[in-house]
Chains A and B, each alone.
Chain A
Amino acid sequence: DTEVTQTPKHLVMGMTNKKSLKCEQHMGHRAMYWYKQKAKKPPELMFVYSYEKLSINESVPSRFSPECPNSSLLNLHLHALQPEDSALYLCASSQDGGPGANVLTFGAGSRLTVL
């Protein structure tokens, strides 16, 4: 079993809905990440929370907003999404987010479908 837990596993939402993806880790890691993965493509980084600081991939639209209530939790709030946002959303964590060899532990993913 993965040590990064993502809920829900599957989510179907309409373009006007507001929903959230949740991610939790209990490994004491200090950095957490959201990645987006489309079919047959590599994971693409969306957000990094490292030592309470947020780093954003500037290409990510504002309809995605991350929230980090504490160092173990990372949420991704979704609002007014488009069908092209349908993808597998992966949460990951690493021991720290600084320079060096950051090995990522991924969750099982949340499969999002936008109708």
Chain B
Amino acid sequence: SQKIEQNSEALNIQEGKTATLTCNYTNYSPAYLQWYRQDPGRGPVFLLLIRENEKEKRKERLKVTFDTTLKQSLFHITASQPADSATYLCAWGGYSTLTFGKGTMLLVSP
């Protein structure tokens, strides 16, 4: 069965640096991957979606890539700020369902 893996539980970086989070999948390539941000005790908030046939998507300081050869999606936050500190979840979509990875907790220090 398909699995989504976010190998890093936590990532600490300094303000102003680029944060790079990884999402790997096993087996077949999903038609699309989504990235969400979740703050403690709150619901996830959608950030970006990338389709299998797209290499890269951007939104302001956010960038997502999709590499079907490596079976991997990378999520980048450039010029990171302490306000970017949160848990970031990647998700794989099936029919009527969305399956989430475990998430990576990002901490941006001033």
Chain A residues packing against B (C-beta within 8 Å): 2, 4, 31, 41-43, 45, 48, 50, 55, 88, 90, 92, 97-109, 111
**Docked CA distance A2–B45 (Å):** 9
Report the bound CA distance from A105 to B42 in whole Å.
12
User: Does residue B95 face the partner (Cβ distance < 8 Å to A)?
Assistant: yes
Sample (15) of A-B pairs whose CB atoms are under 8 Å apart: A2-B43, A42-B100, A43-B89, A45-B97, A50-B96, A88-B41, A99-B96, A101-B32, A101-B93, A103-B46, A104-B98, A105-B46, A106-B45, A108-B43, A109-B43
A99 touches B95 (CB 8 A): yes
Residues in B whose Cβ lies below 8 Å from that of A92: 43
* Binary interface encoding of chain B residues 35-54 relative to chain A, with 1 for a CB under 8 A from any of its CBs, else 0: 01000011111100101000
Q: How many angstroms from the CA of A92 to the CA of B89 in the assembled complex?
A: 15
By secondary structure, the A interface counts as: loop
Interface residues of B (CB under 8 A from A): 31-32, 34, 36, 41-46, 49, 51, 89, 93, 95-103
Q: Which residue of A lies closest to B102 (CB)?
A: A42
Task: Kindly state the separation between the CA atoms of A98 and B94 in the bound complex, as whole angstroms.
Answer: 9
Q: Which residue of A lies closest to B100 (CB)?
A: A42
Bound-complex Cα distance A48 to B92 (A):
16
Q: Is the CB of A42 within 8 A of B101?
A: yes
Q: Which residues of B contact A4 (CB under 8 A)?
A: 43
Task: Give A51's nearest chain B residue, CB to CB.
Answer: B96
A101 to B41, CA, bound (A): 26
In the complex, are the beta carbons of B96 and A98 less than 8 A apart? yes
